[in-house]
A and B are shown apart, each in its own frame.
Chain A
Amino acid sequence: MGKKIKVLIAKPGLDGHDRGAKVVAMALRDAGMEVIYTGLRQSPEDIAKAALQEDVDVIGLSILSGAHMKLCPRVLEFMKQYGIGEKPVFVGGIIPEDDALELKKMGIFEVFGPGTSLEKIIDSMRKIVK
């Protein structure tokens, strides 16, 4: 059987735009990964808890609400609290460049803006899990 890459795709906060999250989830599925999708309007704590219970390798947050500077640190905080601070977190969405830099300083592993190719996302996840 061997090891499969497990990914959690989550949408934190009050943001109903889930097409991006679904497209990415499908692409990762088609790349042979096991993708857990938790649906809309999750609190940072819900997301950290799901990541803990599912023991995923990677967490992907999709945020198009503009609240990324508030939501991302909260997710990271709860992950630390649950003892899974070491898991890599990717963020996708409408994120201004300056914010992306800040997020990376905070501990977000990578930020994918609009127009990022699915191949790039898949490759980044494969690389980090290995």
Chain B
Amino acid sequence: MTELSLEKLKAEDVKEISKALTIIENDPIEAKKIVGALDEKDYCVIGLTGSPGSGKSTLTDRLASLFSLKEKIGIIAVDPSSPFTGGAFLGDRIRMKRTSRNDNVYIRSMASRGKLGGLSPSIYNAVELLGRCGFKKVFVETVGAGQSETDIANLADIVLLVLAPGLGDEIQMLKAGIMEIGDIYVVNKMDIEGASRLKSRIEAVLDFSNHRKDVILTDGIKGTNLEELARLIEKELQFLKESGKIDEKRKKRKRFNKLNTVFQELKELPDEAIDRLVEELKKLTGGR
């Protein structure tokens, strides 16, 4: 392993964690080795998704700050890479000033690097590394999402769908995709007109499908209702644990991590190797 100290990683040294994350971002094969060298631990992944500017970073900052009173919190904030130059402007940290000084919180910005779906190719290993380095909750903030960036649902134990007033009528809520993946619906910017109406519309739509899910109004800047939101998260986690559903989520996360890694490795292969693999696959799937 390139110039990385496993001892220091196990001791949860911040510099070593940072270096490890860089390697994980750049090299999927090394990533697997690094994560594999650390012991598995119990941790939760909380995803925040929603349209650009809905307040995901500010809410993440607030929530991390609240939870950090009792445990170590990791944050991975994903912003988009340019499809033209591969460059990125990562600005989520600007909204995280509350926790940037907090020794119990680790914040890492990540570029999406061409991955669609709202996350980055290395996200599974990055999250797993933080989990194995003692972070009890890992918050993952997706890129500003539109309608179909739903990968976060495969990664997170709980998804917060962050909405703000003024972005469409009830028809938007009936559409498939992102509106379905929330476990908790957060109507942020509650000080803006239309917030309560949006909340009742979401509740009405959720009623159609018989899904009992919480909808909450918040103000990320002032911090209004943030403690209540934190309580809802704990309640949902409790429910997942007691109902055993958390195991399904963990299984799903592992599966998608594997699929993701396989895909990363496949991309590096020459065409002939892919052809051979396709032949092998045919055998596995019974010639389809």
B111 proximity list for chain A (CB < 8 A): 4, 34
B220 at the A interface (CB under 8 A): no
Residues on A with C-beta less than 8 A from B25 are 1, 4
Interface: B121 (CB within 8 A): yes
Report the minimum CB–CB distance from B65 to chain A (whole Å): 15
Contacts of B109 in A (CB 8 A): 36, 54
A2 on the interface (CB 8 Å rule)? yes
**Are B93 and A30 neighbours in the complex by a CB distance under 8 Å?**
no
Which residues does chain B contribute within 8 Å of A74, judged by CB atoms?
A: none
**Cα(A54)–Cα(B91), bound, Å:** 12
Q: How many A-B residue pairs have CB under 8 A?
A: 87
B interface, by DSSP: helix, strand, loop or mixed? mixed
Known: A1-B113, A38-B94, A49-B101. A32 touches B18 (CB 8 A): no
Known: A2-B26, A4-B86, A4-B111. A55 touches B121 (CB 8 A): no
The yes or no answer to B9 lying at the interface (CB within 8 A) is no
Among B22, B26, B89, B108, which residue has its beta carbon within 8 angstroms of that of A25?
A: B89
- Assess whether B175 is interfacial by the CB under 8 Å rule: no
Asked whether B133 is an interface residue with its Cβ less than 8 Å from the other chain, the reply is no
Q: Which of B14, B26, B86, B264 contacts A53 (CB 8 A)?
A: B14
Could you say which residues of chain B place their CB within 8 Å of the CB of A49? 100-101
Q: How far is A52 from B101 in the complex, measured between Cα atoms in Å?
A: 12
With A3-B26, A4-B111, A49-B100 known as contacts, the answer to whether A34 contacts B15 (CB < 8 A) is no
Minimum CB–CB distance for A14 against chain B, Å:
15
- Judged by a CB distance under 8 angstroms, whether A108 is at the interface is no
Give bound CA distance, A113 to B254, whole Å.
51
Once the chains bind, are A46 and B87 in contact (CB under 8 Å)?
no
Q: Is the CB of B85 within 8 A of A30?
A: yes
User: Does B88 touch A at the CB level, under 8 Å?
Assistant: yes
Q: A29-B82, A50-B100 are in contact. Are A55 and B22 (CB under 8 A)?
A: yes
Name the interface residues of A11-66: CB closer than 8 Å to any CB of B: 25-26, 28-39, 45-46, 49-50, 52-55
CA–CA, A55 and B26, complex, Å: 13
Most buried by A among B21, B81, B97, B109: B109
Whether A34 pairs with B106 at a CB distance below 8 angstroms is no
Contact residues in B for A30 (Cβ distance below 8 Å):
82, 85, 87
Q: Is the CB of B89 within 8 A of A29?
A: yes
**Residues of B bordering A, CB below 8 Å:** 14-15, 18-19, 21-22, 25-28, 81-82, 85-91, 93-94, 97, 100-101, 106-109, 111, 113, 121, 264
The 7 closest A-B pairs by CB, nearest first: A39-B94, A55-B18, A29-B87, A32-B87, A34-B88, A36-B90, A32-B85
Q: Which A residues are within 8 Å of any B CB, using their own CB?
A: 1-4, 6, 25-26, 28-39, 45-46, 49-50, 52-55, 82-84
